[in-house]
Amino acid sequence: MPPVTGVATEADARYPDRGPSHRPRRAREAARKSLRSLRLCGFNCRTAICTDWRLGMCHRPSLTGGAALAITGAGGSGAVTAGLILLAAVGRAGHYALMGRSAGPQIRGGESVAMLRFAPRPVECMGDRLDLLVGLDWENVGRFSDELPLDETSLILTDDQAVPVPEILARSGARVRSLPLKVLAEAQPDGRVNMIAIGAVGALLGLPLAALESGARVILADKDDRIIETSVACIRVGHASIGGSQAPPVGMPTPPARWNISGNEAAGLGALRGGVRFVAAYPITPASEMLEWLAPRLERLGGSLLQAEDELASINMLIGSSFGGVPALTATSGPGLSLMVEGIGLAVASETPVVVVDVQRGGPSTGIPTKSEQSDLNLAVYGLHGDAPHLVLAPTGIADCAFTVQWAVGLAEQLQTAAIVLSDQALGQSRAILDPPADPAVVRSDRQPPTRMIADSPGPDYQRYRPSDSGLSSMTLPGVPGGMYTADGLEHGANGVPSSRAVDHAEQLDKRLRKLTAFDYGGEWAEIRGKGDCLLLTWGSSAGPVFEAAERLSASGRPTRAIALRLIAPLQRQALLTELGSVGPILVVEQNQGAQLFCYLHAQRVLPPHARSYARPGPLPLRPAEILRALEEEA
């Protein structure tokens, strides 16, 4: 146990903007009294008794302030439910937040952890360290101890009857405090340890009891009343156990109209906003929740979801629906995408719009289904046989899942082609409290609406695949007289009739390429933040830690830009070259072994020779500090 010395001024000096937020003396005394067992501030101010710590404001683990905590327990211990309730509660209390989860491969049981970071400003990645780790029990925690970055300033909260904190965690030097979680739970009728813990943690974090209770009522809404009331009672007991006040703390902001949404839900919403009304689904981790979220909602919107027998079927079902004029999408993960690539090629060749969201997981093969990685870029970009130009996009965050999927649907429809959207487990299965994602349906005045070019009354000279300057040709839909044609995966002439002639092949290849390359994608091809010579270039879920790293660098006096590519293919090469401009350091950051984006950008002749790659495989999330270290190593 490291010595704890009173160095309150250290934290104050580091965060001069914080200002004093000391509570009245009486409250301070009450806290001191009720928390005799804790005695020490769990956060980083290193005072013996901190008057400020309940709000979690005495130490800011990152630029953004707030706190980062994890709740762990054996699968079934309720750690994830506790995380969800705390997430809802911090949202109610006016914070932004991000909650990730990690679980073993077991269907039930095993181990699980919920990780929550919250702050007064949007949270886009997990922090570098945990302020608080709550162990409901310590079963199998060793299996993901490497996902729990503790240090000597972290606090571990454990049950006083539990086995000692495992050495693998204790050796971080984190302080350990115990609470009678189990005893308190047993004293309640049907009491549960995780609910006691929620109350205790909520009190530690300074969350109002009302926010915790309402969080519980939202998350447990589908349980029966008795369970809800029992849970709420436990939360109250836990809250009181360490002196949480029944009254809301002074100055707690009124909750603004924020959303509590996961990346998979946001992607589903983007699909619906984009007009998708048919989804074919084959279950796969970690994409299933997106499909499950869509199923009942599509029904309400007059669309449908068809559970397919396999991914070979689902991609072809999309093509069928889209051929009929109903925009179609599916979600899958790497193994499913592998099975779909032939069908995606058919969509490209027959110019039938479809969208596939790949919620990536660790690969290759079955890989690590429950954990994240960005290793399907090569498959998405290069997987199709033949010359098959198509769209590859990647959301840059949870909220952006809604935007990017909606944009992908619009682009696929407009360009009559296939779009692959590369989300991943870290985005898909994380939840966030965030500002509602904007609906980009409002179209810029100089742009075409993102809809398909349909021929409603085709003339006698109608040809489905007639070449044009834009590469686009109008499509007729079944039911329209005079527009009959047979869509084909065979190469064809302008009228759709199969042809193996070189002239037809050249003409149709050119048409299918030109419609993608001649199109004006506007400014959405990337999310660009900050200014400066130093450049961090990234894609997908790595954007969160990259944005934070760039912000920290800029704040520390080294102006840094971050570019997260949203449109990966076709690469907006000229725009990117213009953005690269200067000759400062360039680091390409991504979560895979093979530096897939880095290699792709080189293949596209975009990167200068001095550009460097920071690529490492999952499943551990990229954290801002390691990106900063990687940049320093390069320098």
Partner 1 sequence: MDAASVIPTLRAKDYKSDVVPVWCPGCGHFGVLSAVTKALAYLKLPKERVALISGIGCSARLPAYVGAYGFHGVHGRALPLAAGLKAARPDLTVLVAGGDGDGFSIGGNHFLHACRRNMDMAYIVMDNEVYGMTKGQASPTTRPDWAKSKLTPHGTGIRPFQPAAIALAAGASFIARGYSGDPGGLTRLIVEAIEHPGFGFLHVLSPCRTFRPEQSDWKHQVHRSDKGPTDDPAEAAHSIQADDGMTLGLLYARRLPVWQPDNRATATTADLEGAFVV
Residues that bind partner 1 (CB under 8 A): 88, 91-92, 255, 257-261, 265, 269, 272-273, 277-278, 280, 297, 299-306, 308-310, 312-314, 316-326, 328, 342-343, 345-346, 350, 433, 436, 478-490, 497-498
Output the smallest distance, CB 253 to partner 1, in A: 12
Nearer to partner 1, 322 or 613 (CB): 322
User: For partner 1, which is the closer residue by CB, 90 or 550?
Assistant: 90
Is 440 within 8 Å of 401 (Cβ atoms)?
A: no
Residues facing 275 on adjacent strands: none
Identity of the residue, 273 or 361, whose beta carbon is nearer to partner 1 in the bound complex: 273
Measured from the CB atom, the residue of 251 and 479 that comes closer to partner 1 is 479
Is the CB of 317 or the CB of 630 nearer to partner 1? 317
Angle of helix 209-219 relative to helix 225-241, nearest 10 degrees?
150
Cβ 301 to partner 1, closest distance in Å? 5
**Closest distance of CB 343 from partner 1, Å:** 7
Cβ-based burial of 186 (10 A; exposed 0-12, middle 13-18, buried ≥19): middle
Q: Which amino acid is at 54?
A: R
**Helices 288-300, 263-273: crossing angle, 10 deg rounding:** 40
Residues facing residue 133 across a β-bridge: 70, 156
- How far is Cα 318 from Cα 313, in angstroms, rounded to an integer? 9
> CA-CA distance, 158 to 171, in Å (whole number)?
15
258 vs 561, which CB is nearer to partner 1? 258
Residue 503 in tokens: 């002239």
Short-list 383, 523, 510, 512, CA closest to 446:
523
User: What residues pair up with 391 in beta bridges, in sequence order?
Assistant: 419
Closer to partner 1 by CB, 48 or 454: give it. 454
Across the beta sheet with 354-360, the strand order is 304-307, 278-281, 328-332, 354-360, 418-424, 391-393, 567-569
Cα distance between residue 595 and residue 614, in whole Å: 7
CA 59 vs CA 31, 49, 244, 443, 529: distances in Å: 18, 14, 19, 44, 26
Nearest to partner 1 of 221, 583 (CB atom): 221
Q: How far is the CB of 255 from partner 1 (least distance, A)?
A: 6
| Strands 155-159, 259-262: pairing kind | unpaired
Query: CA 445 from chain center: how many Å?
Result: 31
Q: How far is the CB of 310 from partner 1 (least distance, A)?
A: 6
CB of 245 to partner 1, least distance (A): 22
CB of 143 to partner 1, least distance (A): 32
DSSP alpha helix (H) spans, 570-610? 573-580, 596-603
Q: What is the smallest separation between the CB atom of 490 and partner 1, expressed in angstroms?
A: 6
Over its C-alpha atoms, the chain yields an Rg (Å, rounded) of 27
Rounded to a whole number of angstroms, the minimum distance from the CB of residue 466 to partner 1 is 18
Residue 438 is classified by DSSP as P
Distance of closest approach, residue 458 Cβ to partner 1, in angstroms: 10
Contact present, 76 and 32 (Cβ < 8 Å): no
Which of 319, 588 has the CB closer to partner 1?
319
Around Cβ 51, how many Cβ atoms within 10 Å?
22
> 3-state class of 590 per DSSP?
strand
**CB of residue 263 vs partner 1: minimum separation in angstroms?**
13
Nearer to partner 1, 308 or 380 (CB): 308
- Comparing C-alpha atoms, which of 601, 607, 591 is closest to residue 568? 601
Nearer to partner 1, 162 or 326 (CB): 326
